[in-house]
Structure 1
Amino acid sequence: MQHIAMIGGGLAGTLVAMHLVRHAQRPLCITLFDQQAQFQTGIAYAQSDFRHLLNVAAGKMSAWPDQPLHFVQWLQQQPAYANIDGALLAQTYLPRALYGQYLQQQWQQTVQDASSKNIQLKLLAVSVTKLRVLPTSIALSSALGEMQFDAVVVATGNELPRPPLPAASGLTAIAGYQHNPWQAVTIPHSNTQSTAKPLQPDSRVLILGNGLTMVDTVLALRQAGVRSPMISLSPHGYGMLPHRVSAVKLPDFASTLGEHPSLRQALRLFNQQRKQLRQLGISAEGLVDNLRPYSQLWWRGFSSAEKQFFFRKLRHLWGVARHRLPLQIHDQIQQLRLQGALEVRAGRLLSCQQHDSGIEVQFIAKGQTAPEVRQVDHIINCTGPENCYPRLANHMLATAIAEGVLASGPLELGLAACPGSLALKNGSGDIHPRLFGIGSILRGELWETTALNEIRQQAHQLAGQLLLLE
């Protein structure tokens, strides 16, 4: 019997397992490791608060790439959505918790299908601490000991953010500092089971970062009762953009560049299209969506110098245009800014000092030379996941890279892999025939690889490849 393991039991690992069960024609044993025990939903879709919405319309959220409207059809089977037109539902931004329920129901069906096919499914709520490549298998170590598998998929998802200041600053020892933003958004007013400083309605909060996680954090803090003005500090301070409903269908301008344009050619064409749309009074935000089908192929064709330039100069602008908000969430954030409840600043954090009255924060605003000083009670790190794995302390991936079992990807983003097969590489550049990656760990190789559309395609591809292994 073939034994396959997923390191990570969230969305990516679950989708691979679901596709394996769907397509398997013989008995298998599939094991999912997840140290947080957040199987199926992961952190993203485990929230119980239905006010947190998906950032992608329902029509693009099917778990099955060959059934693009599967999620919409599932919705129409739910009493709350049974009488709503499917075309309207497909354009709607729905609660993440609802999508979590969808994933769990898909998993329940997978469990039934596995039983009928004599496929074993094991969910292990432990952390994988070491990875070894053997001649004909992969060995994974955990608190349960060492286990050997015929093939392994690394589906670890997003890591915690990078500390915003050097270790010598003492920031991580400050009681009001929250390094894990996904824990921060669930901190209640008082929690005797937590060592974190409890939030109060008058708590002064500094949020480091200005992306989607910042938005989640602001809304969660407001829902928890925090009423003091909050500050968001990021290097650029770009404003978030909304998803706008538009009847205008943009032309497929990207296809005119072929498969391997230079970065300069892509930028020139993008800017030409952007100016043209603005002259016509049409929002240019959808241009990034037009590029999505080509982004992985183009990224793979860019030179190292082009990738470095994009990463240094353009990635933040790409992120703003790429990661837009549902219109109603964008309106809430804008209203908070107009009310003075949220201040978005561009700048760089310099230091933090704990005092009896709170935390003294120094930062230098963009374009200024003299630092500003603020007093806050909490600092929440929403700067985005760490993608340079050698920086991760006491982490299986960092250890594997140090030992040469794995290698960092281009620009030290994620892991080195074969973009076509998704097979991971070792420190010498050799491809592991039984070790694969999915999702965010492929960021350096593919750039756009964190959204459901890419992950479900990769899961489908990996399932087919894994089932062909002897």
Structure 2
Amino acid sequence: MSLGDALHTRAAPRVVILGGGFSGAIAALHLARGATVPVDIDIVEPRPLLGGGVAYSTPDPQHRINVPAARMSAFSADMGHFDRWLRRSGVLAMDPQALVKGGHIFSSRLEFGRYLDGLLREQAAADGPAHIRHVQRRATSITPIPRDAPPGQSFGYAVALDNGARLVADRVIIATSHPPPSPPPALLHALGDDPRLIANPWAPGALDALAPEARVLVMGSGLTMADILATLSAAGHKGPITVFSRRGLTPRGHALDATELVGDFASRPATTALALLRRVRATVASAEAEGKVWQAVLDAVRRDARAVWQALPLAQQRTLLRHLRPFWDAHRYRIAPQPEATIHELEARGQLAILAASLADIRADANGVHATLRPRRGGPALTRTVDAVVVATGPAHDHLIDAVPALAPLVTAGRLRPDALGLGIAVDGQSRVIDVRGMPDETLWVAGPLARATFGELMGLPQVLIHAEEVARSVALRLPGQTTPEPAKKGVRHRVSA
């Protein structure tokens, strides 16, 4: 069967997955692979590419995966799967720059999206009790279908689509993608709908109108900034570029030859943010004294992140987010070698300046956009007159529930609520949505970053992969008549199709 099949007549429970980016695609793939009874899996995703989402649908070849391909996969038990797929696909012949020192591959992000899409279509065509269907529409609302008992539970869900159609689901997995950046109110007030404000650099063609000599101001210095600079540089941009963020932190590079992790943060984990910081710093110092790199320590923290996060009381989680998160993001979410080299080249030419500063004032007239920046460490204000302002502050996760109108009926019904940290949706340790009474719902799940207030590190591989696999297993075990599937074995090989 193919993903484009029409509605069929088999009497089977239906699982609707809201969002077909990485988390939704992985949940669907592993739910289908783990099901031993008939189940219909509908992935509601308006993009044509399943698994692409915001990150892996970008057509710009300069937008690279930010970890080596050998550390990316659709199968946590076989992390080399994507790397083998790339080497057999012929991608390296078309994109030789993807291969960097040491034989590591940093392909375009679109290739990873194509890889995921191919796996889902292969699974959909395979024999088995699961039926996968791509519903290429946008969900407009998810409404509980009530039943008499138990109170507050539902018989299922009515999922309304933007073409007027409706799906009836027994279970729903919320796997919505990253929301667009949220420009500061002062910026919106000053520029409004002025075309010189590029509020969403991820929008197709967002940077195309910039003249080669345009003066550009980029607000934000993370990985989105790196994408912007890579795109501008490849297009031959010659104008001056100023990047600023409150701390001026930029993504750190990889230590590609470091394979051994250093440190144990899960045994007797720290219970305060300060104790955790001191433990990490001490481990880094000890590692460096032995000639080992800090990346090996931070990767050990990432490995143990769930245990570390869940050992912190809520107040300490808030402290960590307020004071340490920017430093974690800069060191954890590293930059691919290609855009890293681009940034160094732009700085060496004097074309790029990266500042630790905040926006003090901004106004616009016919001569340009005039920004006043307040340096973080004091001193006189800095002024920049530019032709464009690009917002690169990253996804507005704190507004995610509001940014997904389809979730509104669930909020109104008390079936879904934000988590206590403002990171996404409140879920329990199995990723079941917690309602306003504090009760987990056996029919409503979250896969992906929206669950990170409970699980901690859920923004990068392999943590998002492992979490989506866990959600798929949990949902599969609740299918009527389901038998416990045999757990995946390490080192298992999956069929690779070019």
Same fold (TM over 0.5): yes
2:139: which partner in 1?
A: 128
Of residues 323-332 and 396-405 in structure 1, the stretch that sits farther from structure 2 once superposed is 396-405
CA distance 1:242–1:398, change in 2 (3 Å):
farther
CA distance 1:240–1:80, change in 2 (3 Å):
closer
After TM superposition, give the deviation of residue 325 of structure 1 in Å: 1.4
After TM superposition, give the deviation of residue 217 of structure 1 in Å: 0.7
Q: 2:73 aligns with which of 62, 86, 90?
A: 62
Are 2:157 and 1:148 equivalent residues in the alignment? no
Contact 1:200/1:225 (8 A) holds in 2: no
Show CA shifts across 1:412-444 (max 9, x none): 1111000x2111112232211111101110122
Paired amino acid for 2:45:
D
Q: How many residues align?
A: 454
**Unmatched segments (≥5 aa) in structure 1:** 190-197
SS in 1 for 2:418: coil
After TM superposition, give the deviation of residue 242 of structure 1 in Å: 0.6
Paired amino acid for 2:438:
G
Structure 2 length normalisation: TM-score?
0.84
CA distance 1:64–1:427, change in 2 (3 Å):
same
Show CA shifts across 1:172-209 (max 9, x none): 3222112212126x3464xxxxxxxx211111111110
Contact 2:201/2:207 (8 A) holds in 1: no
Q: 1:107 aligns with which of 113, 120, 125?
A: 120
Paired amino acid for 2:346:
L
Output the CA distance in 2 between the equivalents of 1:402 and 1:337.
50
After TM superposition, give the deviation of residue 406 of structure 1 in Å: 1.3
After TM superposition, give the deviation of residue 17 of structure 1 in Å: 1.1
Show CA shifts across 1:254-295 (max 9, x none): 35x425644343222211122223444543232110111211
Output the CA distance in 2 between the equivalents of 1:403 and 1:373.
49
1:1-400 pair list within 5 angstroms: 1-79=12-90, 91-113=104-126, 116-117=127-128, 119-134=130-145, 135-143=154-162, 144-166=164-186, 169-183=189-203, 186-187=205-206, 189=208, 198-247=209-258, 249-255=260-266, 257-259=267-269, 261-368=271-378, 370-389=380-399, 392=402, 395-397=405-407, 400=410
CA distance 1:118–1:287, change in 2 (3 Å):
closer
Q: 1:464 aligns with which of 460, 468, 473?
A: 473
Output the CA distance in 1 between the equivalents of 2:207 and 2:422.
37
Output the CA distance in 2 between the equivalents of 1:153 and 1:391.
15
Contact 1:407/1:415 (8 A) holds in 2: yes
SS in 2 for 1:129: strand
CA distance 1:62–1:156, change in 2 (3 Å):
same
After TM superposition, give the deviation of residue 403 of structure 1 in Å: 5.2
SS in 2 for 1:137: strand
SS in 2 for 1:182: coil
Output the CA distance in 1 between the equivalents of 2:225 and 2:335.
12
After TM superposition, give the deviation of residue 153 of structure 1 in Å: 0.6
Structure 1 length normalisation: TM-score?
0.88
Output the CA distance in 2 between the equivalents of 1:391 and 1:105.
30
Output the CA distance in 2 between the equivalents of 1:280 and 1:442.
37
SS in 2 for 1:289: helix
CA distance 1:412–1:80, change in 2 (3 Å):
closer
After TM superposition, give the deviation of residue 140 of structure 1 in Å: 2.0
CA distance 1:79–1:89, change in 2 (3 Å):
farther
> Could you say which structure has the greater relative contact order, defined with CA pairs below 8 angstroms and 6 or more residues apart?
2
Output the CA distance in 2 between the equivalents of 1:247 and 1:396.
44
After TM superposition, give the deviation of residue 401 of structure 1 in Å: 3.7
**Unmatched segments (≥5 aa) in structure 2:** 1-11, 146-153, 481-498
Contact 2:414/2:436 (8 A) holds in 1: yes
Contact 2:216/2:387 (8 A) holds in 1: yes
Of residues 370-379 and 209-218 in structure 1, the stretch that sits farther from structure 2 once superposed is 370-379
Identity %: 24
SS in 2 for 1:253: coil
After TM superposition, give the deviation of residue 383 of structure 1 in Å: 0.4
Output the CA distance in 1 between the equivalents of 2:400 and 2:292.
44
CA distance 1:38–1:205, change in 2 (3 Å):
farther
After TM superposition, give the deviation of residue 377 of structure 1 in Å: 1.4
Contact 1:172/1:179 (8 A) holds in 2: no
Contact 2:401/2:418 (8 A) holds in 1: no
